[in-house]
Amino acid sequence: MEKVRKAAEALVEKTMKGNDASHDAAHVWRVRDLALSLASEEGLSSHPHSMEIVELAALLHDIADYKYLRDPSEEKTVQNFLEEQGVEENNKSKILEIIKEMGFKEEVAGQGNTEWSPEFGVVQDADRLDAIGAIGIARCFTFGGNKKRMLHDPAILPRSNLSKEQYMNKEEQTSINHFHEKLLKLKDMMKTKAGQRRAEKRHKFMEEFVKEFYDEWNGLI
């Protein structure tokens, strides 16, 4: 496993070095650490294969993120990597399934998988925890700045009842609207008890930030 882990870390460094800081290697390291911590809290540490699946899925989850794809062939990068590393077939299938299904866009309109494994739950929760709280706020505005989005425009309202396709089309959206369309929803979408516990504080911090943002924008304070 150590050899595969090191190779996965090297792949992350190589493929994500051009990304902005909202989806860089540091994001992956945080998600990996969170996922392993959640897995231990959920009782998976006594199952070595489960911990291997969790770690590799966490490490590789953003390698082919649709927001950063430069070539369609990159979608096969993770599958090719797992095959080259000789990862056992059952583990490989579970890792690929976790990565494929864990994104918010897969669940935004009730289209996500309603049956999920403990490994899936901790990896998805870890990724979502990194999207909320203080770091989540920083990541949101980093990504928005990279895309040259406005911070806020009162004339552009947050969208509701989005389909997967509508969610992925963010051309007219502002950074603050992302809180309403996604980030403030994540607390109630956590799969694991451990993820739910950790999300509470991060969610409250975001709520306070959003209120402060609007109060300052409107000159109330």
Q: In angstroms, rounded to a whole number, what is the distance separating the alpha carbons of residues 103 and 170?
A: 16
Q: Work out the average pLDDT over 117-135.
A: 98
CB 191, CB 118: distance < 8 Å: no
Tokens of residue 11, six digits = 């792949």
Instruction: State the chain's mean pLDDT as an integer.
Output: 92
Nearest to 181 by CA among 171, 170, 196, 192: 170
Q: Work out the average pLDDT over 184-191.
A: 97
Ordered by where they begin, the domains of the chain are 2-217 (1.10.3210.50)
Q: In angstroms, rounded to a whole number, what is the distance separating the alpha carbons of residues 149 and 130?
A: 21
| Sequence-ordered alpha helix ranges (H) in 147-192 | 164-168, 175-181
| pLDDT at res. 112 | 57
| pLDDT at res. 113 | 59
| Eight-class DSSP state of 38 | H
Q: Is the pLDDT higher at 91 or at 111?
A: 91
Give the 3-state secondary structure of residue 138: helix
- Residue 78, CB half-sphere, CA atoms under 13 Å: how many? 22
CB 109, CB 175: distance < 8 Å: no
% of the chain at pLDDT higher than 70 = 94
CB 55, CB 46: distance < 8 Å: no
What region, left, alpha or beta, does residue 162 occupy, with left being phi > 0 and alpha being psi -120 to 50 degrees?
beta
Q: pLDDT tens digits for 139-153?
A: 999 999 999 999 999
pLDDT greater than 60 at residue 136: yes
CB 57, CB 64: distance < 8 Å: no
Q: pLDDT tens digits for 23-57?
A: 999 999 999 999 999 999 999 998 889 999 999 99
φ/ψ (deg, to 5) at 64: -115, 40
Tokens of residue 54, six digits = 């969790």
pLDDT greater than 60 at residue 111: no
pLDDT greater than 90 at residue 79: yes
